[in-house]
Amino acid sequence: MLLNPHSKSRALQQYLFSLLQSCRTTRELIQIHAQIVVNDLSQKNYILAKLLSFCIESGDINHAYRAFQQIETPSTILWNQMIRGYARSETPQESIQLYNEMYRVEAETEADGFTYSFALNACARLNFLREGEQLHGRILVNGLCSNVYVQTNLVNMYAVNGGVSKARGVFDEMTQRSVVTWNSMLVGYLRSGCMDEARKVFDEMPERNVVSWTTMIAGCVQKGRCKQALALFREMWRAGVEVDGVTMVAALSACAELGDLKTGTWIHSFVDKTLQFRNQPQSVSLNNALIHMYASCGLIEEAYKVFKQMKRRSVVSWTTMITGFAKQGLGQEALSVFRWMQNLEDHRVRPDELTFLGVLCACSHTGMVDEGRHYFQYMIQSCGIEPKIEHYGCMVDLLSRAGLLDEAHTLIETMPMKPNDALWGALLGGCRIHKNIELASQVAHQLATELDPDLAAGYLVLLSNVYAAAKRWAEVSSVRQRMVEKGVKKPPGRSWIQVDGVINDFVAGDWTHKNSSAIYEMVGRITMEAKLEEQMLELPEVLLNVGREDINVSPSLVIT
């Protein structure tokens, strides 16, 4: 029995649809698309929806758009496919443009909850708060404000664009909330710096997934609450939540900031065992975090071991290793890694401004003036990277430490941006080392007049030490009087160290530590040994924060 033309067309559509389902390559897709056009099926929404879906999932958004343009009356599903595809692409602004085009022809097609959700995602990625608010208005007009999917994307859009109060308003109106909704609200508070509100949301969550825990841990790290971050990480572990690579990176960052080597090495061991069990390679970002952790904890050899074992490295990998060596005062090793990076055959990984910051830092910490000058010019002339104020800071520090104070001063005065207190402070530090009283007075006067009292305190103390080094006690007394008149107080020094797995926090002048008596007794013994070796005569700046009974000068000259 012969099939009628309608049955043939339907059978052909089903055949082409099955081909699209099994399609694996772009070449196959083009051949199937050609058959769709040849057989006059390019207006069939049913089959074109699958074609667009394959193009979008495979990352060929341009092919999808060309096919979409040939459709005379696209259905809402096809519009949604394209809006979703562009929202996830490298050009999410195209998603908003497509939505606006769809809105203009709404007589033929009607936007639904998916349309608005995809468009809101694009606004979130683009930081388009005004456009997101306009979408919110249309959602209300179209009666979609009770759609959980739409509401969740509204919360996310406001949260990532800084509109945390509006996000909370939508959140509070919701009768149903998914874990994704709670996570969006959590992100909003963390991005706005509202740590207490974020923790309250976290504690109230009826359900937490790995994203919830990781978001909270990473937020604590970014806000400097690293002890709290590791406490959450341990709580997450005890709760039996399966951690992922992002969680590990956040926890390792906290370990690096605290110098918590014990937890950091435990994480490393766990990662190695887990990935070996799963037969998975270690991610570049996780290796980068391990390098940073070991370098920050002083185990630069372990950091370098991780670095050398990496099969693939990003610019962050190279920069982290260079910076790690630099901070340990291993300038030659840092430059050796940089030259290794430069000699890569594929040249796919190119140094960026942070890489050069590490290189210049290495030169500064080890007094390599010629190398510092060379790489500063190389960065500008060969790599086309405009120096930021941090690069100038490294150069001023390098030149000042080397005694090239005039060159450092000239560099500050000729740089294209206004110098900050850190640059003047580096020059002032060089004046202290090389006992240049006149330049130090000039720099300190400028700092004292430009900075608020809290920032000026450290530099006034440094100036007093410059005068003390030259035994100009009248000027020391004058600086102290100026500090008293301005109500300036030197912030107390702070440090911490891990002993037997316990992190001990120290603040100058603090007696709350349980071993304070023993600590200060040891400080006294060390001070006495220093006096016996006559080191006190060469380091007058130790007047700060040392007991007056240990200083052989007039108490009125001591700055504490």
Tell me the β-bridge partners of 495: 506
Q: Are 388 and 353 in contact (CB under 8 A)?
A: yes
Amino acid letter for position 375: Y
Q: What is the DSSP string of 95-125?
A: HHHHHHHHHHTTTT----HHHHHHHHHHHHH
Burial class (CB in 10 A: 0-12, 13-18, 19+), 275: middle
Amino acid letter for position 144: L
Q: Are 325 and 293 in contact (CB under 8 A)?
A: no
**In sequence order, which ranges of 127-147 are alpha helices (DSSP H)?**
129-141
The full length of the chain comes to 560
For residue 542, what is the enclosing H or E element?
none
Question: Which letter does DSSP use for residue 330 in this model?
Answer: -
- Report in angstroms the alpha-carbon separations of 350 from 166, 278, 419: 42, 32, 28
Phi, psi of 499 (to 5 degrees): -130, 120
Tell me the β-bridge partners of 505: 496
Distance in angstroms (rounded) separating the CA atoms of residues 288 and 302: 12
Distance in angstroms (rounded) separating the CA atoms of residues 150 and 145: 7
Q: Are 338 and 352 in contact (CB under 8 A)?
A: no
Note the pLDDT of residue 12: 62
Q: Are 120 and 137 in contact (CB under 8 A)?
A: no
Please tell me whether residue 402 adopts helix, strand or coil conformation.
Answer: coil
Q: Which residues, 6 or more positions from 426, have their beta carbon under 8 angstroms from its beta carbon?
A: 393, 396, 397, 400, 408
Report the predicted TM-score, pTM, of the whole model to 2 decimal places: 0.76
Question: Which letter does DSSP use for residue 90 in this model?
Answer: S
State the residue for tokens 């874990």: 179
Segment-wise mean pLDDT, segments of 10 residues, the chain, 560 residues: 45 62 62 60 62 77 83 85 91 92 76 92 93 92 88 93 92 92 94 93 95 96 93 93 91 94 93 74 91 95 96 94 95 95 77 96 93 95 94 95 93 90 85 84 72 61 73 76 66 64 68 77 81 55 38 30
Q: Are 76 and 109 in contact (CB under 8 A)?
A: yes
Distance in angstroms (rounded) separating the CA atoms of residues 14 and 19: 9
Note the pLDDT of residue 549: 33
Chain mean position to CA 91: 23
3-class secondary structure for 370-393? HHHHHHHHHHHHCCCCCCCHHHHH
Distance in angstroms (rounded) separating the CA atoms of residues 171 and 175: 9
Burial class (CB in 10 A: 0-12, 13-18, 19+), 312: exposed
Distance in angstroms (rounded) separating the CA atoms of residues 250 and 226: 10
Least Cα distance to 334 among 347, 344, 342, 324 occurs for 324
State the residue for tokens 């841990």: 217
Amino acid letter for position 448: A
If one counts every other C-beta atom within 10 angstroms of the C-beta of residue 227, the result is: 16
* Pairing status of strand 502-507 against strand 494-499: antiparallel
User: What's the angle, vertex CA 223, arms to CA 221 and CA 226, rounded to 5?
Assistant: 35
Note the pLDDT of residue 62: 86
Q: Are 111 and 102 in contact (CB under 8 A)?
A: yes
Note the pLDDT of residue 11: 63
Q: Are 285 and 249 in contact (CB under 8 A)?
A: yes
Query: How far is it between the farthest Cα atoms of the chain?
Result: 117
If one counts every other C-beta atom within 10 angstroms of the C-beta of residue 126, the result is: 17
State the residue for tokens 């007058």: 540
Note the pLDDT of residue 452: 57
Extract the tokens encoding 414: 């000729």
Distance in angstroms (rounded) separating the CA atoms of residues 335 and 52: 50
- Report in angstroms the alpha-carbon separations of 448 from 471, 493, 545: 22, 21, 22
Question: Which letter does DSSP use for residue 490 in this model?
Answer: P
Distance in angstroms (rounded) separating the CA atoms of residues 460 and 453: 10
Extract the tokens encoding 401: 């430490």
On the CB side of 189, how many CA atoms lie within 13 Å of its CA?
Answer: 20
Phi, psi of 73 (to 5 degrees): -130, 85
Amino acid letter for position 543: L
3-class secondary structure for 423-461? HHHHHHHHHHHHCCHHHHHHHHHHHHHHCCHHHHHHHHH
Note the pLDDT of residue 557: 31
Least Cα distance to 93 among 128, 133, 141, 61 occurs for 128
Question: Which letter does DSSP use for residue 504 in this model?
Answer: E
